[in-house]
Structures are given as C-alpha cells and as structure tokens.
Amino acid sequence: MTNVFVDCLRIDGSIRCPGDGGFSDVMVFGRHVKLRKDHPAIDLMGRLDELEALAEWGLTEVGGEEFSNIALMATALNTYLATGDGSWLTPIRDLINKVCEVDSRELGWFIPKDRKTAFLNLLRVKAREAERTAVRLLDDEDLPSSNVQELIGMLNQLNKYIAHLIFLNHVLVFKNVNEKMRSFGAMR
C-alpha cells in the first residue's frame, strides 16, 4: 500500500491498524513510547496540530506573516515534544525576541475589530489550551522534567507572542471587564 493505511493489515476481511486498541506508538522527547490516546503527551500533540492547522487556515483566509509564524512555532514545538532536541526552539525564541522590541498601544480587556485579529484571538485561546495540557506532563515521572519545563515555558511565551500581536492589530481595548461587558450591550 502507498497510502495512510500502509501500516495496517487486512485480517479476516477487516482492516486492523496500529492505534485501534486505544494506544499510540510515538516519540516523546526522543524516546519511543507506547501511550494511551488520552495521555497528556498525545493530547498535546493533537492540540499543537490543531494550533498549526488553525494558523494555516488564518493564513489562507486572511493572510499575513503572523499566521505563518504561528504555524512554524506550533510545528517546532510539536517536533521538540517528539525529539527533545532544543534546536527546534531556536526559531521560536528568535520570533519572540523580534516582536518583544515593538510596543503595543495599550493593554487591557479587548474585543477584536477585524477578521485577522479575531483569528489571532482564536489562536491565542488554542495556544493557552496547549499550555494547560503541557502542564499535565509534569505528572508523568517517566518524562524528563527539564524538557517538560522548557516546553511549558515556550508555550507560555507563544501565548504572550500571540497576545502581543493582537494588541498590535485592530482591537477595542477596555480598562476592565465591566466596560467590555457593557460594550456588548451597546453593540446590539
């Protein structure tokens, strides 16, 4: 076979594939492991895949270097999770250092005012979900804690990177959540 079913077998007229039993054979921080599909490492891989796919969707729908950069960062983080090779974090650090040099106009509670900024906000939420999932990796004593800590730190910085991009774009900023909530009533 030369398709996605290449590692599957036909047994008694049925197709049987690795993973059908609820486990995945994957690399995590450079080690080959067999994990349940609900393990935080598998969950995080999926969340990073989702973040990358949504960034690619934003690139297709709206365009802009920001979406390409976020897709790159999600891919690099997923590759770091698989390999444990810190060189995959270099492009993320470079992008974060670059954007940290630009000051945003103001900070606070916000509402996106255009499609691009709304997409960025969706990516911010997905990056935060990935970070929370990564924190669950701390409970797995078989994983190298230094790699897990590095991954959590980079995900936190990715969240800040995306939030910074949001404030550099078209947002309506409020001093507090009450002002933001009142604005929803005014928008009707």
Q: What percent of the chain has pLDDT over 70?
A: 94
Q: Average pLDDT over the chain, rounded to whole?
A: 90
- Write the CA distances from 185 to 58, 114, 179, integer angstroms: 28, 19, 10
Q: What is the full DSSP assignment across 126-143?
A: HHHHHHHHHHGGGG-TTS
Domain ranges of the chain: 38-186
pLDDT band at 1 (very low <50, low <70, confident <90, very high): very low
Question: What one-letter code names the amino acid at 68?
Answer: S
Instruction: Say yes or no to pLDDT of 75 above 80.
Output: yes
pTM score: 0.86
- pLDDT value of position 74: 97
- pLDDT value of position 68: 95
Q: What percent of the chain has pLDDT over 90?
A: 65
Mean pLDDT (whole number) for 104-121:
87
Q: 58-62, 116-120, 179-183: which has the minimum mean pLDDT?
A: 179-183
The helix (H) or strand (E) run that includes residue 159 is helix 145-168
Report domain 38-186's class: mainly alpha
Q: Kindly report the CA angle at 26 between 24 and 31, in degrees rounded to 5?
A: 140
- pLDDT value of position 100: 76
- pLDDT value of position 2: 54
Tokens linked to 40: 């935080």
Mean pLDDT (whole number) for 100-113:
80
Mean pLDDT (whole number) for 30-48:
95
Mean pLDDT (whole number) for 83-110:
86
